Amino acid sequence: MTTIAQPRLVSAANLEATELPDGPIPVSTSISLDRQASPSPNDQPLEVAIIDDRPLLCDCFGRSLAAVEPRLNLKYFVDVEAFEAAPAEQKSDVRVVLLCMIWSKSRADVLLSQITRLKSADPSADVIVVSDIDDLDDVLKAIEHGMRGYIPTSDRLAVAVKAIQLVAAGGVYIPPSLLVWSGRLIKEMSQAPKQQPQAEDAFTSRQMAVLEAVRRGKANKMIAYELNMCESTVKVHIRNVMKKLKAKNRTELAFIFNNKMQQDLIVNKSQ
């Protein structure tokens, strides 16, 4: 029985390195034509700087990230000043900077300026803020100042690693829960009839003062001190306005109040 030669594709680069048998090639004979695969971009180490003035938390955070993704090459800095003062060769390969901070509305301007300083110190590095920012407006302001990602401490480590990789690839990461909640709230408010509220929906001057303080992120004790009232009275005012605005918590109350102020939907009623 005649053996039919099987067609084989052999590149010119492999002809010299491959010894072909004489005559027809049996089906059972194989010739290795594998080429050396080029390394995938995902196999390359990713240089990440962590800025945190709390050594224990900083070390734990870095070790946890490395346990999830060993290809992260981590560098640690105690604050923005240390990052700015570091030699150029130490931060030249840094792709992402994780700025860990305790967010506070009273210090928002200072915290936002740190993002700007980081971008000035290393324009090629993308800044991710690791914190707990309750106000969507603050997140948007941080993006305007150069932030490329926001990772709340409620996220899982695996999500944090994916967020870092997304930002390094040129994307922007915002927690989906924050976007869904704010989008739903804005949609509901835009569909609401544009009419003046009834008397029962209006607020007293004291309620307005408490609401404004809540919007600025002040604690009940500080509100009571500034408005010269008992802390229990502050809690009663907050509970009443939350009921009127159908807010589930202080963060949502501040968000709703801020948007209503912008739309001129709140009428101040004298006490």
Asked if residue 190 belongs to a domain, the reply is no
Split at pLDDT 50, 70, 90, the class of 139 is: confident
For residue 141, the surrounding DSSP H or E stretch is helix 136-144
Looking at 78-124, list the stretches that DSSP marks H as alpha helix, in order from N- to C-terminal side.
80-85, 88-91, 108-121
pLDDT tops 60 at residue 67:
yes
53 and 173 share a domain?
A: yes
Count Cβ atoms below 10 Å from residue 145 Cβ, excluding itself.
18
Structure tokens at 98: 């994780």
71 and 106 share a domain?
A: yes
End-to-end CA distance of the chain: 108
Q: Name the nearest CA neighbour of 215 among 114, 136, 270, 111.
A: 136
Q: Name the nearest CA neighbour of 32 among 44, 22, 19.
A: 19
Q: What is the rounded CA–CA span in Å between residue 120 and residue 86?
A: 14
* Radius of gyration, alpha carbons of the chain: 29
252 and 147 share a domain?
A: no
Asked if residue 208 belongs to a domain, the reply is yes
139 and 233 share a domain?
A: no
pLDDT tops 50 at residue 12:
no
55 and 164 share a domain?
A: yes
Tell me what pLDDT residue 165 has: 96
Asked if residue 130 belongs to a domain, the reply is yes
pLDDT tops 80 at residue 200:
no
Task: Check which CATH number belongs to the domain holding 252 and give it.
Answer: 1.10.10.10
Task: Check which CATH number belongs to the domain holding 74 and give it.
Answer: 3.40.50.2300
Tell me what pLDDT residue 201 has: 53
Tell me what pLDDT residue 190 has: 55
Tell me what pLDDT residue 175 has: 86
164-175 pLDDT tens trace: 999 999 999 988
Is pLDDT larger for residue 271 or for residue 45? Answer: 45
Split at pLDDT 50, 70, 90, the class of 17 is: very low
Is pLDDT larger for residue 200 or for residue 160? Answer: 160
Q: How many domains does the chain have?
A: 2
Domain holding 253, by residue range, is 196-262
Count Cβ atoms below 10 Å from residue 12 Cβ, excluding itself.
6
pTM for this prediction: 0.55
Count Cβ atoms below 10 Å from residue 8 Cβ, excluding itself.
12
21-33 pLDDT tens trace: 555 544 443 333 3
| Chosen domain end from 149, 180, 211 | 180
204 and 258 share a domain?
A: yes
Per cent of the chain over pLDDT 70 is 71
What is the DSSP pairing of strand 96-100 with strand 126-131?
A: parallel
pLDDT tops 60 at residue 260:
yes
| Chosen domain end from 121, 152, 180 | 180
57 and 170 share a domain?
A: yes
| Chosen domain end from 121, 156, 180 | 180
* 61: three-class secondary structure by DSSP: helix
Mean pLDDT of the chain: 77
92-115 pLDDT tens trace: 899 999 999 988 877 888 889 999
Tell me what pLDDT residue 74 has: 96
